Structure 1
């Protein structure tokens, strides 16, 4: 398995077209490379938002 920093992400333009690829490390090093991201908000029947706790090392 790849080191987490070596995971490959697609690089996209402003319209979402794939233009290349870069490692996680390259994408998150301040390079401002655009890559797809998903944010998922989960609510229960009372309208309460569920949050996922991130590991301390992140």
Structure 2
């Protein structure tokens, strides 16, 4: 486990951020990043409406 400002700020193990990459940052990809101790960020532009984006978050 690394100890940096970003790991302490967002509560992750490793200072790696899986950023919002259009067509790639879908819920399964982001979940895998987050499950590995990094920060996964879901790309909202991948979803056509608020409901589908909300469903992906859940």
TM-score by length of 1: 0.20
**Relative to total residues, which structure has the larger helix share, 1 or 2?**
2
TM-score by length of 2: 0.20
Higher relative contact order (CA 8 A, sep 6+): 2
